Structure 1
Amino acid sequence: MRGRVLLYVSLVANGLLAAGWWWTWRQVRPAEAVSHSAATAVTAPTLTRTNILPRRQFFHWSEIESDDYATYVANLRAIGCPEQTIRDIIIADVNALYARRRATEVQTSQQQWWRAVPDPELEARAQARLEALEAERRELLTRLLGPQWETGDQISLPRPSRPGVALDGPILGLLPPETKQQVQEIYTHYQDQLAAYRERLAAEQRAPDPAELLRLQRQMEQELARVLAPAQLEEFLLRYSDTAEALRRELAELRWLELTPDQFRALFHARRRFEQGLADLAQADSPASALQRQQLEQQYEQALRLALGEELFRQYQRLQDPDYREAVDEARQAGQPELADTLYAIRRALAEEQVRLETNTALTALQKAIEWKRLELEALKARAEALGEPPLPEPAPPPPPMRAHTYRAGETLISLAVEYDVPLSAILRANPGLDFQRLKPGDTILIPVPSQ
């Protein structure tokens, strides 16, 4: 049933049989010598008693193995298994059992390949379940082998020199161990080839060739197709292929586009076809190839439209604009995601006014700065009104322009007010720190310029 367990028990059984044969040979050989030396003197045959109890040389594994681990251990001891061998057999069996349980009972973020950003609640539940299974495994081994079972653990769990990919879930988690090992080796070989290719290009200061990258990926897929069924291969590629990773990075940048598994799968296959088409045209630069690239882009856009539907496709297109993504962020933070389009329209209007202002040659730099502040204020008012926030307070009026007057002997505040046609109170407000009772010729008095 289990290759490793059978190997251990076979070694033990063969050792017992060899020991029995050796002991029997030691007993029979002296008897044969005595019988041969007395053959000339005694005519009647002599029977030699060996005192050996016959024992079956073969047994079926079903006589030892048991679903109950305590019985299993007792059966192994009954056939004379050394304690270290029993320990190794039980640890290997329990580890294999819990490896299967981790692969099939725990839902990890890798299994939700359609999500651009992992679900934190799912990750927390997965971590809690993994910790519970590990505690259960250790408790079982302690109960079966005693508290010091780890000190004699010679095989334990696999200890790979480099981490592999998670092959878990209802599709990949049920793969036989041999198939999982093949998949890990194929993927590791692909990663090694990719790293060597990039290292060579870096040394040559050249950019990667998309066609070569795609060739390496397709080569890996062909090798995987020889060991995986079509549904298993698709699951693996949806999780770990470069195409799927690039698609998730794009969706993560868009942030607010949430897809179903079927929608992501449709986008994934459309993108694969698009990438293959571009790779086929990578070395072509004729007018015909330019037309083919344009047709590929149109086909890809149509595939996206069919996969997402009109409303979600429109959202996908708008999210390509950073201004729209910021508008969505702002609307969601305000708890009113339905206002994203309104806030986006305000942003676009402000951007258009900025362009108009920058290209207006009739205004000075100072006038442009003043006008831009006014436009920003209008945009803020529109945003507050859309979100239902209190209106912004009106800014304080700017101070009136002033002119400097040099005081001459004999002048009074009244004469200055008449001379410049401004109220006496305005002159007093413009000079709060000036003592008009102690003016000396040459002192400066600020005079407000009357508005026209």
Structure 2
Amino acid sequence: MNSKPIVALSIALNLALAAALAWAVSRKPAPADAPAASASAAASASNDATTKAAKATASVTPAATTPLKAFDWRMVESEDYKKYIANLRSIGCPEETIRDIIVADVNKLFESRRREMNATTNKFQFWKAGNPLAGMMDPKRMEKQQALNQEKRTLLKELLGVVPDEKPDLLAGFNPFESMLDFLPASKQNQVTDIYMKYQAKIAGAMGNGTPDAEDLKNMQKVQKDMDAELAKLMSPEEYQDYQLRMSQTAMMMRMQLGSFEPSEQEFRDIFKLKKPFDDDYSNMFGMATGTKEEKEKRAAAEKEMKSQIKALLGDERYADYERAQDYAYQSIYRTTDRYGLGKDAANKVYDMKKAAEDEARKIRNDKTLDKDQRTAALAGIRAETEKSIQTVMGDKAWSSYQSQPGNYWLRGLSPDPKKD
């Protein structure tokens, strides 16, 4: 299998996840106690003003006959924002402080509504193949988030006369960790987020310039193991297992590779239990094999044993689906047939044509009775006949699309593209 596209996609996905998380963290609303802090400042300002007024009165009148009433914040609080603002102004609260209090309170209100909205959406299904970020960025959900943000801006405009400056929320409150870590309480989600961001910065630094080489990958793997060790201390064994099923490199690679396999939750868990120890022992963080000849031989033997265990687990027919799904050439075929509504059967037929054509081409290359020109002509004929058969299965539109895909590289492996005049 050509692993380079999968490796590149894995790197891109991790960087995208870190970038999305960084954006979400930067958009995090003020802490829940922010209104209270602002209120405290306002109360302090009000008390100062009251004290100054008392001193001024004392300097021109005899001893006070009625003691000043101690300030109580409940005297000005109100569920009606307009009344709340009027009460703040009545005690001499500065306009800037009023704005800070109201903005913090409104942010808290709408953050609560946003969380309630997200809680009604589907939980993150870690066994579903594909890009988890794409699955979480549901257009309808983002549309609701944007409507909520617009409602907040309209309310602030009505209350304060202006909308306070803030960064545009391009992702409409999207935070991948809220979905992927939905099995953890909010407080622990925040701790995991902090640890993840700390180590992702280190991994990015260890990546070097451009595509990482073997030494870069070793450094990145060490950072990854350090992060996993710190996370394991934070979570219970059950929580850490759930985290690994969602966030580990093994799980990420499985979701990217098993699109057409469509594993059930139990199949994903069972395969993961076999693949994760193998990846920990023999693969770097992007699934690439490195090391000496002896190390590679040891890895090959362990991989053979792992595949044997997976085959025993799944059975012959299901294991054939599993193996096929991990072939980059098949993935490209499947995406094309799926895009044009042709289904998995059409993809399997084309894939069988691929294997048959490659077998025939191998025989031609090994046939010592053929000279160079005869061999070249025979291979060109195999490719032409194979392409004609594929077009029959796919139809003109899907075939035209497939011809532009990088996954059709195997056709050139049968015979080079004809030279253009």
TM-score (norm 1): 0.60
Quote the residue 2:105 is aligned against: 93
Quote the residue 2:280 is aligned against: 276
Aligned equivalents of 2:370, 2:139: Cα separation in 1: 59
Q: Which of 195, 199, 214 is the aligned partner of 2:204?
A: 195
Name whichever structure is richer in helix by fraction: 2
SS at match of 2:69: coil
Aligned equivalents of 2:57, 2:149: Cα separation in 1: 53
Q: Is residue 260–residue 344 contact of structure 2 (8 Å, CA) maintained in 1?
A: no
Structure 2 unaligned spans of 5+: 1-30, 397-421
Quote the residue 2:156 is aligned against: 141
Moved more, 167-176 or 84-93: 167-176
Quote the residue 2:263 is aligned against: 259
Quote the residue 1:6 is aligned against: 36
The percent identity for this pair of structures is: 26
Quote the residue 1:83 is aligned against: 95
Aligned equivalents of 1:13, 1:243: Cα separation in 2: 54
SS at match of 1:208: helix
Deviation at 1:353, TM superposition (A): 2.4
Aligned equivalents of 1:95, 1:306: Cα separation in 2: 54
Change (3 A) 1:73 1:348: same
Q: Is residue 164–residue 188 contact of structure 1 (8 Å, CA) maintained in 2?
A: no
Deviation at 1:91, TM superposition (A): 0.9
Change (3 A) 1:87 1:193: same
Task: Give the aligned CA root-mean-square deviation in angstroms.
Answer: 4.8
Change (3 A) 1:365 1:63: same
Matched, 1:166 2:172: no
Moved more, 132-141 or 318-327: 318-327
Change (3 A) 1:81 1:244: farther
Q: Which of 68, 71, 88 is the aligned partner of 1:55?
A: 68
Change (3 A) 1:95 1:26: closer
Deviations 1:413-444 (A, max 9, x none): xxxxxxxxxxxxxxxxxxxxxxxxxxxxxxxx
Quote the residue 1:213 is aligned against: 220
**Counterpart residue identity of residue 344, structure 2:** P
**Counterpart residue identity of residue 138, structure 2:** E
Deviation at 1:124, TM superposition (A): 1.8
Aligned equivalents of 1:353, 1:250: Cα separation in 2: 28
Task: Give the greater-gyration-radius structure (CA).
Answer: 1
Q: Is residue 5–residue 89 contact of structure 1 (8 Å, CA) maintained in 2?
A: yes
Q: Is residue 257–residue 326 contact of structure 2 (8 Å, CA) maintained in 1?
A: no
Correspondence list, 1:50-449, <5 A? 50=64, 53-59=66-72, 61=73, 64-106=76-118, 111=124, 113=126, 114-117=128-131, 123-146=138-161, 148-150=162-164, 166-169=176-179, 172=182, 176=186, 182-199=191-208, 207-208=215-216, 210=218, 212-225=219-232, 237-251=244-258, 255-278=259-282, 293=299, 296-298=302-304, 300-301=306-307, 304-305=310-311, 311-321=317-327, 324-325=330-331, 328=334, 333=340, 335=342, 337-372=344-379, 375=382, 379=386
Change (3 A) 1:84 1:188: same
Deviation at 1:88, TM superposition (A): 0.9
Aligned equivalents of 2:189, 2:32: Cα separation in 1: 16
How many residues align? The count is 355
Change (3 A) 1:192 1:388: closer
Q: Which of 31, 46, 64 is the aligned partner of 1:16?
A: 46
Q: Is residue 32–residue 108 contact of structure 2 (8 Å, CA) maintained in 1?
A: no
**Counterpart residue identity of residue 9, structure 1:** A
Deviation at 1:376, TM superposition (A): 5.3
Change (3 A) 1:94 1:279: same
**Counterpart residue identity of residue 131, structure 2:** V
**Counterpart residue identity of residue 224, structure 2:** Q
Deviation at 1:136, TM superposition (A): 1.5
SS at match of 1:5: helix
Deviations 1:227-248 (A, max 9, x none): 5566665565555444443334
Deviation at 1:362, TM superposition (A): 2.5
Deviation at 1:317, TM superposition (A): 0.8
Deviation at 1:190, TM superposition (A): 0.6
Deviations 1:91-125 (A, max 9, x none): 11222333344345248999455331365796322
Q: Is residue 156–residue 163 contact of structure 2 (8 Å, CA) maintained in 1?
A: yes
SS at match of 1:168: helix
Change (3 A) 1:71 1:344: same
Aligned equivalents of 2:226, 2:290: Cα separation in 1: 20
Change (3 A) 1:11 1:371: closer
**Counterpart residue identity of residue 277, structure 1:** D
**Counterpart residue identity of residue 157, structure 2:** T
TM-score (norm 2): 0.64
Q: Which has the higher contact order (CA 8 A, sep 6+)?
A: 2
